[in-house]
Structure 1
């Protein structure tokens, strides 16, 4: 396949007439909501007193940093976004926002999110946030996404870092627990996105993005989804018997993990006909429920001591 020249597609040389909704779309709000949620869990799980003002400031800075990453991702990927049905209606391909505006918007948000977190909270967390933005924009978007089939595997580290940043914001240090949160999200990312890629493979092929189904084929992708899901479920359950997370989390992780594994097996088994598209869609949808359920349980466990003190 021929390589797309990133600089040949000038989509919006004129001044745009973007509305507030266009700039919100530039932030990738659905991705941001997951970042905020996982970061909140990481912050509340951290030991010590969580000052409300510092907590809100930390989560807000992480959210703005995530939005900056999304805007910069859309700025750089404007050429391939225009070729994919899933992304063709984003603000830059539609001509609602010009590339320079998106770049300026993203860089401004990135700068202020990092500096604000450093000044008001601590510079260790700010450094981690800066690294997260850099990793997503430069390492993943500009390099890995277009050059290697392992783009999602390695690039998933960026999406797994928000709870680590939040823990660092709360404590000024790191521990085993945030590393476990990182590993869960990191291992969740490949089966989640490869399931999407299975039923969107034509999109990725058209844009010349080397996603696993495009490069290695659907059957190899199904096998990798199953293998990663096995490891994911095992790693996600492990913190319970190891004593890092509570019994409630253990039960939920076993139940959700069992269903996640069952769906991955169905993706592996069904390779022809309607089921070959249906099963990856089911896994993709449930994977969001799976990760949300794990972190929601951890959130409840983290809040229980405070709730108990209020009641008694």
Structure 2
């Protein structure tokens, strides 16, 4: 039986998580809201920025706010794919192979500095992120919901980094940048967090079972045919943009649809409006597209190209 949509409960849970995480991450309301949205949508989050701006702290705080299993994987050049997925080990006593789960077997997987591992190791996450399962030695092992990968990465210009493969970037529902805090937020951080670890006092405000139930109900948020066509037209517009040599994939449209449903529910509605789509365009689509050389030389970003492509699409006349 499909759980029913409970918009007030979704709002209360999201607000409680927002308050808890904001006690650790100062002045980053937009980034916190997007992380919570991706969690409810059953997606994965890519946090990209320079070192020291709170990428890992946000990922850990999100995990701490939920009473579920959280595991952190530190990606390094010598990390092996089996460290992520697991490995079959021969048991001398039973004379059988036993599966030893890897770091991906958790509800919230924090992949720290994901682009410091080799492309082969990065690719070990592909099956888990898309199909919620891991295949090792011909055996398939399911990952229990909720399941979310929160990966942090440094800009590719930093030393010792490998660019994420396009196939893996496409599996992240959204990408955010932390940015430097405001002066006031940085002063508050020095006062509140200078003497103790702020994560130590963060208590869970919900659990995995509740999140799974609420997330299943969000699928009932109404999306009109006009809004669906609007999403498809925007995705198609990125494929014909002169600034892009690779536009958004069909998976991008599906994940945008899931994301806007959550935004509507968190906002207190059981239906999606075009504003929901516009608010999430850059975060959901920009990391999936590839700029042309001319666009890069002109200083344009993926978000700029996506926004420009969306501007060519007419708004739905009705919802």
TM range (shorter): under 0.3
How does the TM-score come out when normalised to structure 1? 0.22
More helix by share: 1
How does the TM-score come out when normalised to structure 2? 0.22
More strand by share: 2
Higher relative contact order (CA 8 A, sep 6+): 2
